[in-house]
A = this chain, B = another copy of it.
Amino acid sequence: MIGSCALKRFDSGDISGMEQRFRTQFINSITGFKSLNLVGTINKHGMTNLAVFSQVVHLGANPSLIGIIVRPDSVPRHTLANIAETGYFTLNHVLESFIRQAHQTSARYPEEVSEFTATGLNPLFSEVIEAPYVAESNIRIGLQWRETIPIPLNGTLLVIGEVVEVFLPGDCLGADGYVDLNEAGTITVAGLDAYHRTEKIVRLPYAKAENY
């Protein structure tokens, strides 16, 4: 039965005492389900890069800003270098049909191999930004780099872009601006590697104090 098993408590000592990979899985799991996007970039020599990201945040709608958390010493370091070179990156939702290819972009390929080539996903270029989109994706966001904010506590970076282009299935856009991700087939990730489809429960109206 959902949510019915007995709760177990972990304190600071339990957490710091966890074996490193166990703790990584554990801490990556507990924040909840996460956005799943492939980040597409290109360097000044035309070499494309594709990396799966689950740490994407909406920062504001006016201007339309989205941030991604990047760890400079990990596989996505090309993402960071390419954004610095061209000033552009794309976010591409993942569908059930290419989960394995999306996950596989997290492997450490040699310098000269693009994750597009390695996984068989296809780059798609638009007229307004240099970075490649993923042709197989149905919701694609083109971003222009605006700012990179260092997080000194652990050396990660918050890379912020402004939305300059969006592609999405027209039928999935509601009259109020809501985009039906479930209808669009977007999936979500838990932890480092657990992919989930969704089912809508309910949309709720804007909450007012007097209506309760």
Contact = CB atoms under 8 A, between A and B. Distances in A.
Contact of A22 (B2, B26, B107, B177): B177
A184 interface: yes
Per DSSP, are chain A's interface residues mostly helix, strand or loop, or mixed? mixed
Number of copies: 2
Interface stretch (A41-49, A76-84, A141-149): A141-149
Given A37-B32, A109-B209, A146-B153, A204 B103 contact: yes
A58 B34 CA distance: 10
Interface of A: 2-12, 15, 18-37, 54-67, 69, 71, 91, 93, 95-97, 99-100, 103-110, 113, 118-119, 128, 138-139, 141, 146-147, 149, 151-154, 156, 158, 160, 163-174, 176-188, 190-209, 211-212
